Amino acid sequence: MTQKVRVRFAPSPTGPLHIGGVRTALFNYLFAKKHKGDFILRIEDTDQNRFVEGAEQYIVDSLNWCGIPFDEGPSSPTAKGNTFGKYGPYRQSERKHLYKKFAQDLIEKGMAYYAFDTAEKLDFHRKDHEEKGKTFIYNWHNRLKLDNSLSMMPEDVQRRIDAGEDYVIRFLTPPDEKLHLTDIIRGDIEIDTNTLDDKVLFKSDGMPTYHLANIVDDHLMEISHVIRGEEWLPSLALHQQLYDAFGWKAPQFAHLPLIMKPVGKGKLSKRDGEKGGFPVFPLSWNESVGYREAGYFPEAVVNFLVLLGWNPGTEQELFTLEELVDSFSLERVNKSGARFDPDKTKWYNQQYMHQKDDATLAEAFLLHLKEKGITSTTNDYVQKVVSLIKDRATFVSDFWELGDYFFVAPTNYDEKAVKKQWKNDTQEIMQNLASFMNGIADFSSENVELEVKKWISEKELSFGKVMPPLRLVLVGDMKGPHIFDIMALIGKEESMERINKAISALA
């Protein structure tokens, strides 16, 4: 029987989730759904010093907003009451009691040891090595000279523990071995164990470190595939050794490429976002604006994220979530870093804007209108406005800039346009046009266009004498969609009123 696919996203709640983290969650989600498996959220909060209030909720809200909900996790439907089903709880701080026995198990097997070296002592060694141009690594070549149970009588070890001395439990890396690691994306990797340090697994405050808690939980939660960022690749050697030491079958590993800066070298950072004026977080966090608040549609965010590191093998750029579930595979994830392109994120938003129906966009625009004090309009009217301007918009927040004149008459007129369009005879032409308009019974766009064009040729006027000033008086400048669509929408009364108002303002 093949193992059921169970994957986890395991963030530490140390702050807002970077979009790189969202992408990791997304790849886990897609992989799980493709294989009819489970997507689990596990909160890795063993490092209480780095705990940030609100970060866990932020993570949950972000996944939900992106439309990639987890099947199991803190407060998930499967985590009923306090029993949490078979695999919970899903916060490591609530699993604290589980880890110690695993650390002790390794000590008993001779695969881990107690170390009493104080922080000051280790600091001293580090500095001392630095001065000599070397790096201090706690491992096979010096561990017998350091303050640990490897060179102590068992009674002495117990005495120091009983006396309440601080200690850590370190993994005893076997020397002179070649480890063979496999990563789905990176292939086979060989590591010489002599280059590794004896990592801390457990601390005397009763808390496991990331490494121990992570592999114990992956084992107990029956995780089949570990899909995580490239920055965790250096931990793979230790994790593989821990699985072997416990005699557990290791999950398969896939380390995702980094998301790189738009220009230059290195990983995309919060500072890049600040400099380039684009979000790097899914939702706003303190003064950092998120994709949601910047007006992005979650589908657009999912779509641009998935193509950072994965390629479908075709030219297709727009995908629904279902299509992604269908076509996703870890084999098509690249090894090399994926450059982040802020302009492309906007392009995606535009594409989804065009796909959205007018009713949905009108709903969103109505909220903006309310903020602008426009409360007397109707959903139906706003839908019609949206249908005329959405092709030019990237965000719903662009609608106001593109179509404010649908809601308020212009109060001033673009100076340059006035200079160019408002000639000596314009006032008279506009006056005549207004009284002609008054007589048009059917004020639909098509009919007004027909009638006005007829009137222009009957009066032997040129289009250039009528149409540009007409736009100027209705809109306030030369922007906007088809002028007769605008007239039909704002209506006969309003159109005439705007002409008359402009005449007195520009006289």
**Catalytic position from the list 100, 203, 270, 346:** 270
Question: Is 101 assigned a catalytic role?
Answer: no
Give the nearer residue to ligand GLU in terms of CB position, either 44 or 183: 44
Segment 192 to 211, residues that bind ligand GLU, using CB under 6 A: 210
- Least separation in angstroms between CB 35 and ligand GLU: 18
- Least separation in angstroms between CB 21 and ligand GLU: 7
What phi, psi does 51 have (nearest 5°)?
A: -65, 135
Binder among 5, 6, 7, 11 for ligand GLU (CB under 6 A):
11
Residue 404, both tokens: 């404010």
> Applying CB under 6 A, which part among 5-13, 197-205, 246-254, 402-410 lies near ligand GLU?
5-13
CB 394 within 8 A of CB 414: no
| Distance of alpha carbon 237 from alpha carbon 493, whole angstroms | 76
- Residue 232 near ligand GLU by CB under 6 A: yes
- Residue 228 near ligand GLU by CB under 6 A: yes
CB 282 within 8 A of CB 274: no
Residue 251, both tokens: 């999950």
Residues in contact with 262: Cβ distance below 8 Å, sequence separation at least 6, in sequence order? 268, 272, 276, 339, 340, 341, 342
Burial of 384 (0-12, 13-18, 19+ CB in 10 A): middle
Number of residues engaging ligand GLU in binding (CB under 6 A): 8
- Residue 12 near ligand GLU by CB under 6 A: yes
> Applying CB under 6 A, which part among 10-18, 308-316, 376-384, 474-482 lies near ligand GLU?
10-18
Segment 25 to 64, residues that bind ligand GLU, using CB under 6 A: 44
> Applying CB under 6 A, which part among 7-15, 145-153, 312-320, 405-413 lies near ligand GLU?
7-15
CB 288 within 8 A of CB 16: yes
Residue 205, both tokens: 């405050």
The residue written with tokens 């106001």 in the block is 400
Binder among 5, 7, 10, 502 for ligand GLU (CB under 6 A):
10
Residues in contact with 387: Cβ distance below 8 Å, sequence separation at least 6, in sequence order? 358
Cis ω on the peptide bond leading into residue 89 (within 30° of 0)?
A: yes
Task: Tell me if 465 is assigned to a ligand binding site.
Answer: no
| Distance of alpha carbon 341 from alpha carbon 263, whole angstroms | 9
Binder among 62, 139, 209, 214 for ligand GLU (CB under 6 A):
214
Task: Show binding-site residues for ATP.
Answer: 270
Applying CB under 6 A, the residues found at the interface with ligand GLU are 10-12, 44, 210, 214, 228, 232
Positions annotated as catalytic residues are 270
Task: Show binding-site residues.
Answer: 270
